Structures are given as structure tokens and as C-alpha cells.
Amino acid sequence: MFDKLEDLLHRFEEILNELNEPTVAENQARFRALMKEQSDLTPIVEAYREYKKCNETVADSLSLLESENDDEMREMLKEELNDAKKRIEELETELKVLLLPKDPNDDKNVIVEIRAGAGGDEAALFAAEIYRMYVHYAEGRRWKIELLNVDEIGIGGMKEVQFVITGQGAYSRMKYESGVHRVQRVPETESGGRIHTSTISVAVMPEVDEDIDIVIDEKDIRVDVMRASGNGGQCVNTTDSAVRLTHYPTGIVVYSQTEKSQLQNKAKAFALLKSKLYDMEQQQRHDAEAELRRSQIGTGDRSEKIRTYNFPQGRVTDHRINLTLYKLDKIMNGDIDEILDACISADQAIRLSRLNQEV
């Protein structure tokens, strides 16, 4: 591990030297690549430098203890020595985590698709609430939300909604939201006060950008244009601006109607289709690597029930990590970092355990 850390430290210094050259900005592609590599390496380098400094502190403290006779000074040196040793243990674990293979999609923007499942109108109402939960969460992290498509029902619910979240590291956190979300509560339409259980499904897909080659043959696509349905602004429902794409080989159908321009809706529809095809490719790869799939948190089967929102008891339970929080109101307002942090920690612990077994 330490040979690798030394190599990374050397590479980091090379990058800094190159970035200091006056001509580096002339090649914008190279400049962006260097800046990204520097950003990726910075937390590893900072932790490793602190690790080396703590080791120096240990060596210095031991050396001074051999020649120091003053009791008070010896106590100070012992305390400094113990603090440094403790920090070294923490940094070793931190460095192992930082050196874990990174998901190549982690820095990408995401396309999120929420669909109402079992429960009729109540499921559609819950889908709309989960959509708003993600909007609040994105706003809290200063991410941008762009609506791709929404199929609303008259009482404020959504049968389905697709949207893009643009922001640094969006996929690295939002990928843990994929799966079936279950709600338990008394619907407003329930006169007998009985608790109903409804479900929605959430799919989180990395947005496909230039570094991913997804080829779509024009012969495999049918493009239909039509007038948008549902609530729309001026001109949205009066022109053939909505676009539906049907991909024959996979049967995937995508629809976009949120823009006034047919060209804009077509571009959004193709972006969604590309992400769905890329996601399908990833799922097939994961299926082929069954052991890897079982060892990860949050990237498993889309039919997996991952979380229950129990309104009568005010609790949210994430079933993958056996975490229960009694802060449902805050969570529904976008405060989901505690859940996502726990999922990330659990995922890292599993991967570290597997790494240690291989060693």
C-alpha cells in the first residue's frame, strides 16, 4: 500500500509542476484532465502526508523520551506519542478506504426515474413526495434539478417522473436510492383509519456524457411527436412539442414534454434513452459478476425493497443496513444525508473486508 501511496504522491507533485507551467492553459482538455486528477488525488495525498508526519512525531517522541529526565516533560511526550499512534491507526483505515477502486460513474450527473407501484392514487401521491424529497436534498447540496418528464394525476400525485440532477458527485450518493420504497400510513381518503401500504420504485442512472460510447442506430428508433398532456405553460399544450422515442431492440419507450421546443424535448428524450441503455448494460455486467453484486450496497436488484417510511410511528427504516431513524418529517424534507452516509460506510466496510480476505 505504501509503495502505491509514494507513487501517488510523486504523481501529485508532477501534476502541480505541470499546472504551474505558463502554457498548460493553452490546451483546455489537458488542463481540465490535470485539474480533475489533482482533485481526485488531493484527499489521498493530504491523508498520506499527515500519516508520514505522525510517524515522524512518534520517532521524535521516542528519541526524546530516551534522554529526557524531567517527569512533567516525559508525561507530555508520552501523551504526544499516544495521540500520534492513535491517529496513525485512524489514518491507515482512512487510506485503505481512499485507495479502494472508485466507481467510474461516481462523478457523473444522474437521471432519476420514480414510478408509482402498488397502491393506486396513494402510491402516486407518495411518488410526488419522494420527488420533492430529492428536490430539497439537491437544493441543500446546491445541485441543479431539470425535469425531463412527469405524468401527473389530478390530486397532486405522479404516476411517474424523470429528472436530471446535475452536481459534483451526484451519482456517488444518489445511487444508493435505487430500489423499492414502501410507505405505511392512513390515506386521506380512508374513512376507517386503516393503515395502507403502497410502494414506488426509484431508478438512479448515471447520465451518459462524451466519455461513454452509446451508439443508437436510427433504424432502431421510432420518433413520435404529439401535443403535451397535463398541466403546461403557454404554448406547451398547443403545439406538437412532446416527443416519444421507442427503441425496438429493447422495447424501451421514453417521453419528454417539459419544453416548448420539440428539438429540446427530443434532446432530453435521447439523453434519457442513452442513460437507460447504459444502465441496462451495467445491470447485465453486474449480473455476470454475481459475487460483486451481492457485496455492494445500493447497486443491487431494482426490485429490492430498500426502505420503509412509517408515518404513524414517524420512522424510516433502511432494510439494507438495518438503520431506523425517528425523524421522518426531516427526511421527507430532504434530510437524507445520515442514511446515505451510513450506506456509504457499510459499502466501504464490505469492500475493505473483501480486500483483507484477498490479501
Q: What is the pLDDT of residue 300?
A: 45
Query: With bands split at pLDDT 50, 70 and 90, how would you rate the model's confidence at 282?
Result: confident
Calculate mean pLDDT across residues 277-288. Answer: 74
Q: What is the pLDDT of residue 221?
A: 86
Ordered domains of the chain (ranges, CATH): 2-98 (1.20.58), 110-349 (3.30.70.1660)
Q: What mean pLDDT do residues 228-234 have?
A: 54
pLDDT recorded at residue 303 = 66
pTM of the model: 0.74
- Between 39-43, 85-89, 353-357, the lowest mean confidence (pLDDT) is in 353-357
Q: Tell me, what's the pLDDT at 223?
A: 87
3-state helix, strand, coil in the chain (%, to 5): 50, 20, 30
pLDDT recorded at residue 100: 85
Mean pLDDT, range 7-22, rounded to an integer: 91
pLDDT at 298 over 60: no
Q: Are 100 and 351 in contact (CB under 8 A)?
A: yes
The DSSP symbol for 102 reads P
Average predicted confidence (pLDDT) for the chain: 85
pLDDT over 50 (residue 234): no
| More confident call, 306 vs 286 | 306
DSSP character string of 48-69: HHHHHHHHHHHHHHHHHHHH--
Q: How many CB atoms neighbour CB 193 within 10 A?
A: 6
**pLDDT tens by residue, 194-217:** 888 999 999 998 888 766 677 788
